[in-house]
């Protein structure tokens, strides 16, 4: 008789067979879509079903399954990678990976509990809710996403994106009414909002153009390319091998993980980075909603998650490895505070997610180490026993982190941390110099702005920071009446301390960038902004009713902040905007060239990799090309590329990579400063042009 435990085995074998067929026949679209869903959810789902005895929360099932899958792919891929040299096989190639993956997952499929298989997000009676205004709006958002991407990619016009952002802001206003926006819709609403905004309105992750966007993303793409081309990640390599490739090359999140996806999906690496990474980080707000729901009511949790989205749209979601690390960072916190997860499953989840965090991003790992260590010490000094921060968990995380940072690439990540701390210590003498806090103040919005609209945005941003402090103090003062766990409040207090340290200590904010520090601290602090806003509004007698104060908070703080952070207001007012999706069509040629990569630039950089003798001769380019297209789409070592100027003296056989996009009004910009174009013309006229495609030229320096 077939038991409940073995009911998953047969469906699993069917899924494995479908995956094998898609790879065998290289079925277009099916291989990419099915393979992506399989790698992102199936391994983790099987592990979850085998471990979790009871968990009735469907949303947590999705989130934990996703986190387990991604971490498992990196762990499994890492072990296959280390075994490859011993067997003389490319175990990261599709067929060895699929066969070995099937063998490993079969026991999980056999022991998995089919009774926990229901993975639908918590949207009960969806058919009924679709008839409501909110249901229509939520389902209409994907249509606007498609139209927005179509218009921006074809003509650069952003009218439909403006409509999309406005529609989302109206949706948030409706959340003040539980009748118009019932709590059951919150999870699906958040994931749709996050996916829509990240793929259309985020300047670094939007599905716009054909090539990588951003800064760190380019060196991460090179780390992936080196791994994918070799089908092997060299854990022993270190500086001087591609000196500036580290510590990104030490992270499995941009080496092993994208290689596995690229090989099984037969998908170019550019689309792995432009689709899969933003898709994963879009689940962060959903995970935050579940985390906040353990501490406050559903509506406040939804608004806190939306507040996090708004700030992230303005500050950015970070590099690709940071996106993955942020996902694991939030999952660790959710596993710690979840009331649906059994103690045994929690321990395993924490181990797997901690490993995922450690091998994804070094800086975020150090932030988590700081937070957990201080919290553990504080709880021990107060003689408070904590089931959520046990000594075993702290020790285990430290062991995993230190073992990895010492093992991977001769401890390059650890030395990078030591160098950053050394910079902070050496800068203590500049304690009274305000300029050493420039990035810290900018990250908190406390810098002078040009237009009145930017000034209003700064005021609203600072108001939210004030509300966070008010909300935190309110909870501390009325501790016994609060639903917040002691450990959560300790973590939140440490994050406030971290922000104070970034402002107080010179150069500390530069180590991780203050924008990223602030986004990371909001993971725990966001609910206090909502609580603080309602506390301030409740001081006015007619706003004491919760629904009224919530509506007013959305109207005067949350929605305006969202409209400013996305660039919506700047585009409507036609003032300076840093949003490429919304306002890129208004940018001048040089600004566009500093932000996006063109097909001609990619072609020229690839030509240089194949046909130039760059290993024995210097390569010159502008600053932006060095850190973008030449880092990602060529095989050049970024540390060997030099930035040319109007006074550069070339040596015979040196190469000059020149982009016409950096010229404007008779001047040229090398990414650092301007000079007259005729000076460059004189500089290049005696050199040999060896390549040209209309937008880029490559010169070989001739003998003088």
Question: Does residue 585 fall inside a structural domain?
Answer: no
Helical pair 514-538 and 284-293, crossing angle rounded to 10 deg:
40
Note whether 480 and 521 are same-domain residues. Answer: yes
Note whether 194 and 139 are same-domain residues. Answer: yes
Which range, 180-194, 347-361, 376-390, has the best average confidence (pLDDT)?
347-361
- With 0-12 / 13-18 / 19 or more C-beta atoms within 10 angstroms meaning exposed / middle / buried, residue 335 is buried
pLDDT of 127 > 50? The answer is no
Helix (H, G, I), strand (E, B) or coil at 220: helix
| pLDDT on residue 423 | 67
| pLDDT on residue 121 | 45
699 — phi, psi (to 5°)?
Answer: -115, 150
| pLDDT on residue 511 | 61
Residues 515/315, Cβ–Cβ less than 8 Å: yes
| Structural domain range at position 406 | 127-573
Residue with tokens 């305000």: 434
Percent of the chain's residues with pLDDT above 70: 84
Does residue 240 have a cis peptide bond before it, meaning omega lies within 30 degrees of 0? yes
Averaged pLDDT for residues 153-177: 91
| pLDDT on residue 388 | 78
Question: Does residue 185 fall inside a structural domain?
Answer: yes
pLDDT of 371 > 50? The answer is yes
Give 701's DSSP letter: P
pLDDT by residue (tens digit) across 75-93?
Answer: 999 999 999 999 889 999 9
Question: Does residue 445 fall inside a structural domain?
Answer: yes
Averaged pLDDT for residues 39-54: 87
Question: Does residue 581 fall inside a structural domain?
Answer: no
**Looking at per-residue confidence, does 122 or 98 come out higher?**
98
Give 643's DSSP letter: E
Note whether 529 and 626 are same-domain residues. Answer: no
Helix (H, G, I), strand (E, B) or coil at 287: helix
Q: Per-residue confidence at 228, pLDDT binned at 50, 70, 90?
A: very high
- Structural domain ending residue among the three candidates 573, 607, 626: 573
What's the distance, Cα to Cα, between the start and end of the chain in Å? Answer: 87
Question: Does residue 121 fall inside a structural domain?
Answer: no
Averaged pLDDT for residues 216-232: 93
Averaged pLDDT for residues 207-226: 91
Question: Does residue 615 fall inside a structural domain?
Answer: yes
Note whether 623 and 695 are same-domain residues. Answer: yes
Contacting residues for 589 by C-beta, under 8 A, at least 6 apart = 661, 663, 664
Note whether 622 and 678 are same-domain residues. Answer: yes
pLDDT of 180 > 90? The answer is no
Averaged pLDDT for residues 494-513: 72
pLDDT of 671 > 80? The answer is no
pLDDT of 201 > 50? The answer is yes
Note whether 611 and 504 are same-domain residues. Answer: no
**Looking at per-residue confidence, does 343 or 75 come out higher?**
75
Secondary structure of 123-166 in HEC code, one letter for each residue: CCCHHHHCCCHHHHHHHHHHHHHHHHHHHHHHHCCCHHHHHHHH
| pLDDT on residue 273 | 95
Residues 351/390, Cβ–Cβ less than 8 Å: no
- From 587, 470, 455, select the one nearest 530 (Cα to Cα): 470
Distances from the Cα of 328 to the Cα of 121, 322, 379, angstroms: 20, 10, 24
| pLDDT on residue 128 | 47
pLDDT by residue (tens digit) across 254-288?
Answer: 999 999 999 999 999 999 999 999 999 999 999 99
Residues 405/362, Cβ–Cβ less than 8 Å: yes
Residues 382/489, Cβ–Cβ less than 8 Å: no
Does residue 623 have a cis peptide bond before it, meaning omega lies within 30 degrees of 0? no
Note whether 267 and 335 are same-domain residues. Answer: yes
Averaged pLDDT for residues 95-109: 94
Averaged pLDDT for residues 479-494: 89
Question: Does residue 87 fall inside a structural domain?
Answer: yes
Note whether 112 and 134 are same-domain residues. Answer: no
Q: Which of 51-55, 319-323, 504-508 has the lowest mean pLDDT?
A: 504-508
pLDDT by residue (tens digit) across 181-190?
Answer: 888 889 988 9
By DSSP bridging, strand 641-643 and strand 619-621 are parallel
Note whether 204 and 345 are same-domain residues. Answer: yes
- From 198, 191, 328, select the one nearest 253 (Cα to Cα): 328
Q: Per-residue confidence at 386, pLDDT binned at 50, 70, 90?
A: low
- Structural domain ending residue among the three candidates 95, 116, 137: 116
Note whether 197 and 343 are same-domain residues. Answer: yes
- Structural domain ending residue among the three candidates 116, 142, 161: 116
User: To the nearest whole number, what is the mean pLDDT of the chain?
Assistant: 85
Rounded to whole angstroms, how far apart are CA atoms 220 and 256? Answer: 12
Residues 316/204, Cβ–Cβ less than 8 Å: yes
pLDDT of 50 > 70? The answer is yes
Rounded to whole angstroms, how far apart are CA atoms 604 and 590? Answer: 18
Helical pair 320-337 and 362-381, crossing angle rounded to 10 deg:
30
Note whether 387 and 513 are same-domain residues. Answer: yes
**Looking at per-residue confidence, does 187 or 648 come out higher?**
187
Q: Which two tokens stand for residue 166?
A: 């406005």
Note whether 295 and 438 are same-domain residues. Answer: yes
pLDDT by residue (tens digit) across 553-570?
Answer: 999 999 999 999 999 999
Question: Does residue 460 fall inside a structural domain?
Answer: yes
| pLDDT on residue 126 | 46
Domain count, the chain: 3
């Amino acid at each position: 008789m077939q038991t409940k435990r073995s009911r998953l085995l047969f469906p699993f074998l069917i899924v494995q067979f479908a995956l094998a067929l898609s790879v065998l026949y290289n079925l277009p679209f099916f291989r990419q879509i099915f393979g992506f869903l399989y790698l992102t959810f199936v391994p983790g789902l099987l592990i979850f079903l085998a471990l979790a005895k009871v968990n009735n929360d469907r949303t947590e099932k999705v989130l934990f399954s996703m986190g387990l899958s991604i971490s498992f792919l990196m762990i499994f891929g890492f072990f296959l990678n280390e075994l490859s040299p011993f067997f003389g096989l490319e175990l990261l190639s599709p067929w060895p990976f699929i066969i070995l993956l099937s063998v490993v997952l079969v026991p999980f499929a056999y022991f998995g509990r089919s009774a926990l298989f229901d993975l639908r997000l918590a949207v009960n009676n969806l058919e009924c809710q679709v008839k409501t205004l909110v249901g229509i709006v939520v389902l209409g958002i994907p249509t606007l996403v498609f139209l927005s991407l179509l218009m921006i990619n074809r003509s650069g016009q952003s009218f439909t994106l403006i409509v999309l952002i406005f529609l989302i802001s109206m949706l948030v206003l409706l959340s003040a009414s539980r009748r118009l926006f019932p709590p059951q819709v919150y999870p699906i609403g958040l994931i749709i909002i996050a996916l829509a905004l990240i793929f259309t309105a985020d300047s670094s992750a939007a599905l716009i153009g054909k090539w990588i966007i951003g800064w760190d993303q380019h060196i991460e793409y090179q780390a992936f390319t080196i791994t994918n081309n070799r089908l092997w990640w060299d854990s022993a390599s270190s500086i001087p091998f591609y000196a500036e490739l580290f510590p990104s090359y030490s992270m499995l999140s941009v080496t092993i993980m994208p290689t596995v996806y690229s090989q099984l999906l037969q998908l170019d690496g550019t689309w792995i980075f432009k689709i899969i990474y933003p898709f994963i980080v879009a689940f962060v707000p959903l995970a935050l909603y579940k985390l906040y729901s353990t501490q406050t009511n559903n509506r406040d949790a939804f608004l806190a998650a939306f507040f996090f989205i708004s700030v992230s749209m303005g500050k950015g979601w970070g590099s690709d490895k940071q996106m993955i690390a942020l996902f694991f960072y939030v999952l660790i916190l959710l596993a710690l505070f979840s009331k649906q997860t059994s103690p045994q499953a929690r321990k395993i989840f924490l181990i797997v997610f901690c490993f995922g965090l450690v091998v994804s991003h070094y800086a975020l790992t150090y932030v988590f180490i700081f937070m957990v260590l201080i919290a553990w010490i504080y709880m021990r000094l107060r003689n408070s026993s904590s089931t959520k921060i046990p000594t075993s968990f702290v020790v285990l995380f430290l062991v995993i982190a230190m073992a990895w940072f010492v093992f991977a690439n001769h401890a390059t990540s650890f030395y990078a941390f030591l160098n950053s701390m050394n910079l902070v210590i050496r800068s203590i003498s500049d304690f009274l110099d305000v300029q050493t806090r420039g990035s810290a103040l900018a990250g908190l919005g406390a810098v002078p702005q040009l237009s009145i609209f930017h000034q209003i945005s700064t005021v609203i941003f600072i108001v939210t920071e004030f509300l966070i402090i008010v909300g935190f103090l309110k909870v501390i003062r009325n501790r016994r009446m609060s639903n917040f766990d002691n450990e959560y409040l300790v973590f939140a207090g440490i994050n406030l301390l971290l922000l104070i340290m970034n402002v107080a200590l010179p150069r500390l904010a530069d180590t991780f960038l203050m924008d990223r520090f602030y986004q990371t601290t909001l993971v725990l602090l966001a609910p206090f902004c909502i609580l603080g806003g309602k506390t301030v509004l409740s001081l006015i007698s007619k706003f004491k009713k919760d629904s009224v104060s919530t509506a007013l908070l959305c109207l005067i703080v949350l929605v305006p902040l969202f409209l400013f952070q996305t660039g919506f207001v700047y585009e409507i007012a036609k003032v300076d905007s840093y949003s490429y999706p919304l306002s890129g069509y208004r940018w001048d040629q040089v600004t566009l060239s500093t932000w996006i990569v063109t097909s001609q630039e990619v072609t020229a950089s690839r030509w240089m990799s194949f046909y130039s003798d760059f290993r024995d001769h210097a390569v010159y380019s502008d600053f932006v090309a060095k850190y973008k297209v030449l880092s990602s789409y060529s095989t050049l070592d970024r540390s060997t590329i030099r930035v040319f100027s109007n006074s550069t003296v070339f040596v015979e056989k040196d190469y000059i990579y020149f982009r016409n996009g950096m010229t404007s009004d008779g001047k040229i910009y090398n990414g650092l400063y301007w000079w007259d174009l005729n000076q460059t013309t004189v500089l290049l006229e005696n050199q040999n042009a060896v390549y040209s495609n209309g937008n880029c030229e490559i010169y070989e320096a001739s003998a003088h």
